Structure 1
C-alpha cells in the first residue's frame, strides 16, 4: 500500500512537472530529462510511469480535459440558461488557465501542430461550446439572426486567443479581460438581457446583465 501511494504521488508529480514545461516551452522543446529534473525524480522513475514524451503529453491533456469537463458540469448545473452556462464556463476556464499549469498545458498541447493525434481537448471544447449554443437556440435564448455555427466559431476562437495571449502575458487571463469580451458579444447573441449575465470582477464576482439584473458567479 505504501509503495502504491508513493508511486501515485510520483506519477502525479511527473504530470505536473511535465505540464509546467509543456505550458512554458511547448511540446517540441520539452525534454524528458528536463521533466524528470523538474519533478525531482530519476529518469528511470519517469520511464517506469511513462514510456515516451508523447504518452506523458497525452496524460497531461487527458487530466486537463477531465478538469475542464467537471468545471463545465458545475456551470451547467448552476446556470439558469444555456447562454449563462456558456458565459460562466468560459469565465471560470480562464481563471483556471491562469492558475493551473495542467489545464494550461492541455490547451497548448491540443493546439500544437507538432503532435500527431493530438487536438482532442480542442475538439472537445468546440463540441461543448456548440452544444450549449445549440441548446440556447432551441430555448429561444439566441437572437433570431444569430447563426449557432458562427457563434461557436467566435467563442472558440476567442477562448483559444485568450489562452495563446495568456501564455505570453498572464494579464490576458484576468477576469476583467473575459468580462470585456462577453460585455461586447453577449448583447449580440442574446434574444433578451435575462438570458445571460456578465462577470465584472475577479474570483467570486457580482455580475450584471445589460438589463441591470445581478447574481453571483462562484469561482471554481
Structure 2
C-alpha cells in the first residue's frame, strides 16, 4: 500500500525483492518447481497489479525512484513470461487461464508504457517490454490468437511490429488467418478459440 502512495519506504523494501525475483525466474530452469513457486509468490498477478496501479497513480510517477521501480517491475514480468512452463502449460488445470489473464493485462498496458517519454531508464524498459511481448507470442498455442490493438501502430516501430496474426501464424498453413479487428473480436487480446479455423 505504501508504494501506491508514493512513499519511499515502500519502494526501498520492494526494489530488492523485485531484483531477487527477476534473478530467480531467469536462473531456474526447472519448470516443475518454478510454476508452483510462482503461484505461491503471487506471480504473475502481483507484479502486473503493481504495474497497473503505477500507471493509475500520479503520485508514484512523480517520485525520483519511479524509473528504477518500473524497470525492475518490468524485468520481473519479462522473466515470468520467459519461463518455460508457459510453453508447456500442463502443470495445473488453471495454467491456461492464468497465462491468458496475465497476457491480457500486460497487453492492455503495453501501448501506454511504450509511449512514455524517453529517459535514462526508458530504453531498458522498452527493450524488456519488447522481449516480454515476444515471449507471449512464442508461448501462445494454436488455440489462441492475438489481435493487436490500434495503439500498436504508434507504439511499435514498423520494422519490429508483425501485424495482424503474429500469434495466429500457426493457422496460416491451414488456410485461414484472422486479421486485426476481424470477426468483431476485440483488439489487444489473447483470445481462446472454441474451434480452430480451417
Give the TM interval when normalised to the shorter protein.
0.3 to 0.5
Higher helix content, 1 or 2? 1
What's the TM-score, normalizing by structure 1?
0.35
Q: Which has the larger radius of gyration?
A: 1
What's the TM-score, normalizing by structure 2?
0.38
